[in-house]
Structure 1
């Protein structure tokens, strides 16, 4: 079969799809990856065939625009009470509530989330590549389209050619639960007050290609989820679990990793190892220096990833600390006792796969939901960047190393990850689903 893969146009999202792309390709299927021009070197570097879509704009330009928008939103008065962070008015923001009996978002909350968060980001990354993606699909006629979460151009392209399609997650599935809350609240609104900006936007694009709107354009016919059950707040029959398999990109394993650690090894990283431009550290060098000063006497080997220019600004480096610019996570984490990181997709998934208790220090949008699931699983803890200080991080690292309950929960999650279908197994399942989709389409004619 022919498989078109449409990642959200950032390198980390592309890397999330590469193990499954290779499983499909080695199973004998034809695979094409539709990427913005600045992603194509990474596509071809992974041995895959790329299709250029979208503008020549770089990921760093897109990120900077997103940061400007976030600053504007942060400065604007809050309205509706959802989507601003894990805490609102002393209680948990309902957007990040993972309890089965949680309260749904209100109409005001759900509308604000979609209008100020989901829709603007979706339009920025999809409008400029939509015609290219659909145009290639109409020409090549894929049987299956796999699209990264938020890469809605893939869903429209699949609908335009009648292909089966699945959304591939990179984090906890906050978008489906937000959409369900939105539709639930919308039903309770007067008919004249049921605005749905996401539907209107997708309907416009789908209608251009003669396709009616359906909720499949929002959530896919199926959802491929690489996280274990503790990280799925809502269980759905259309979810296809897939084992998280790391792809580091081209890398060389450092020689020092060949020697076993002399003490518990702790990896600390506050910037993307797989980045889309200049590494932006979550914490300033002064704060990292404070942490190093606080943990310098601990019986451990701290591996700290820092860009060279940040390393040069440190005044003191303890004897128990190894500074590196980057390190392949899939090689270092099996040797680690604990991990302190910024909550990125790759670091989070690798920590789960290798059974490493983790401390999350992040302000990313999806991290509060990750944190709630992580704490529910008992395999990690978290701190807000504003709360980070040397003594606090020291206490957290000691707990990660010594708390046997945390370590046991991390090992349990590792076993659960390893029992999930590997990409090779999922590739066979997807082929069966495509056959069923073809049969269903033929019987409908």
Structure 2
């Protein structure tokens, strides 16, 4: 069968797709990956066939052009507590009230949807009408892929590589909407999908928002709101072109700790986004300087030059492949990105998450429930606070035990190769329904 992966132009959204793309290709299927021009090198670097769709303008340029000084408005925390979106519970939960859920939709979901997708839709539909994929697998934010798949009658699903609140948010929205007076029930996300679907002679369905199915790497007990049809997948680390440094497998004189704040945070620094500054990194280094550890800090060259001091127990590098270094570590300090979180999880290493990622509350709750690590809020980032939490991770064996239990749950999920048969079966079922597009 022909399988088209679709991703927004964000390399850390493309990287997790690569192992599954190669599993499908190794099983004999035709595989292509569609994204905007700024990420074509990321795709071809992985040995995969790239399809260029959308604009030459980068996502950062587009956001700044459209939103100007308010470029990060759609990414800042809401003016209310939305933690119930991330509750992991077997019982009923109260959904967010209408005024809260509509704030999230109007401020975060809908603007992000059209900014990240509008430029891709026409090109994707045009290409799908030519290539005729059987299956379209979409990154969690790539709604353009669902529109294109529906337009040509292809099966389509969403790829979830982090605890994702979007399905729960949608269900909260629909429940709250039903309780509103007639004529006072705007659904801007539905309007976006309906406009694009109508352009290609299709009607809106909720499957456009949620996908016909979902592929999810989060261990089953910690998923926020499982899709009615969820396929579990083991997370397999992939970080792009990388080289194992010569020092990494030498004898470590002390427990090794990795501190990294991610590729994405270096790639796109917008005003208003929570991030760890160089000054804060310096304070953290100073606070950890007398600990008996081997601290490995990843920091881009321009930021590294702003450091005033590098303690003797610290090694500063621009980049190191996580799947190589994490297994050698006693703890990992990171910003909550999917690669750092999942990479630490599958290697059974305790982690300290600085809650800078959008889905950080879900990760915080998972770590609390499993005792696999600790989490601190961005406004708590101080050297002494990091030192306190790291010391707990290193000295309390319960954190290592919790991380190893969570690791076993993660590794029990099907590998990308094992998932291929399920994807083949589901695609055949959907295609047999005979629902074709234009």
- Normalising by structure 2, report the TM-score: 0.93
1:95 corresponds to: 85
Is 1:225–1:242's contact at 8 Å kept on the other side of the alignment? yes
Q: SS in structure 2 opposite 1:193? A: coil
Alpha-carbon distance in structure 1 between the residues aligned to 2:385 and 2:222: 26
Alpha-carbon distance in structure 2 between the residues aligned to 1:388 and 1:331: 27
* Cα separation, partners in 2 of 1:57 and 1:273, compared to 1, 3 Å: closer
Which of 401, 426, 433 aligns to 1:440? It is: 433
Which of 203, 213, 220 aligns to 1:222? It is: 213
Alpha-carbon distance in structure 1 between the residues aligned to 2:435 and 2:148: 20
Q: SS in structure 1 opposite 2:247? A: helix
Q: SS in structure 1 opposite 2:327? A: helix
1:71-150 matched pairs, under 5 angstroms: 71-72=72-73, 84=78, 88=81, 93-99=83-89, 100-150=91-141
Deviations 1:23-66 (A, max 9, x none): 11111101111110111111111111111100001244246567
1:152 corresponds to: 143
Is 1:263 matched up with 2:254? Answer: yes
2:52 corresponds to: 52
Superposed displacement of residue 223, structure 1? 0.7
Is 1:359 matched up with 2:360? Answer: no
Is 1:305–1:324's contact at 8 Å kept on the other side of the alignment? yes
1:301 corresponds to: 294
Alpha-carbon distance in structure 2 between the residues aligned to 1:211 and 1:275: 40
Superposed displacement of residue 325, structure 1? 1.1
Superposed displacement of residue 190, structure 1? 2.2
Is 1:11–1:275's contact at 8 Å kept on the other side of the alignment? no
* Cα separation, partners in 2 of 1:43 and 1:73, compared to 1, 3 Å: closer
Q: SS in structure 2 opposite 1:256? A: coil
Which of 188, 194, 208 aligns to 1:197? It is: 188
2:36 corresponds to: 36
* Cα separation, partners in 2 of 1:62 and 1:15, compared to 1, 3 Å: farther
Alpha-carbon distance in structure 2 between the residues aligned to 1:433 and 1:206: 23
Superposed displacement of residue 274, structure 1? 8.9
Alpha-carbon distance in structure 1 between the residues aligned to 2:151 and 2:137: 14
Is 1:261–1:335's contact at 8 Å kept on the other side of the alignment? no
Alpha-carbon distance in structure 2 between the residues aligned to 1:216 and 1:190: 25
2:323 corresponds to: 330
Q: SS in structure 1 opposite 2:161? A: coil
Is 1:11–1:276's contact at 8 Å kept on the other side of the alignment? no
Is 2:18–2:46's contact at 8 Å kept on the other side of the alignment? yes
Superposed displacement of residue 317, structure 1? 1.8
RMSD over aligned Cα, in angstroms?
A: 2.3
Deviations 1:268-298 (A, max 9, x none): 0124279646899932222222211211121
* Cα separation, partners in 2 of 1:74 and 1:224, compared to 1, 3 Å: closer
Alpha-carbon distance in structure 1 between the residues aligned to 2:62 and 2:335: 20
Is 1:122–1:150's contact at 8 Å kept on the other side of the alignment? yes
Query: After the TM superposition, which of the residue ranges 217-226 and 7-16 deviates more from structure 2?
Result: 7-16
Alpha-carbon distance in structure 2 between the residues aligned to 1:356 and 1:194: 46
Superposed displacement of residue 72, structure 1? 4.7
Is 1:3 matched up with 2:3? Answer: yes
Which of 376, 380, 384 aligns to 1:387? It is: 380
* Cα separation, partners in 2 of 1:397 and 1:235, compared to 1, 3 Å: same
Gaps of 5+ in 2: none
Is 1:149–1:168's contact at 8 Å kept on the other side of the alignment? yes
Alpha-carbon distance in structure 2 between the residues aligned to 1:281 and 1:116: 17
Query: After the TM superposition, which of the residue ranges 434-443 and 122-131 deviates more from structure 2?
Result: 434-443
Is 1:148–1:167's contact at 8 Å kept on the other side of the alignment? yes
Alpha-carbon distance in structure 1 between the residues aligned to 2:367 and 2:62: 30
Alpha-carbon distance in structure 2 between the residues aligned to 1:168 and 1:161: 20
2:234 corresponds to: 243
| Number of positions where the alignment pairs a residue of Structure 1 with one of Structure 2 | 432
Superposed displacement of residue 162, structure 1? 0.9
Is 1:312 matched up with 2:335? Answer: no
Is 1:429 matched up with 2:422? Answer: yes
Alpha-carbon distance in structure 1 between the residues aligned to 2:413 and 2:267: 29
Is 2:75–2:358's contact at 8 Å kept on the other side of the alignment? no
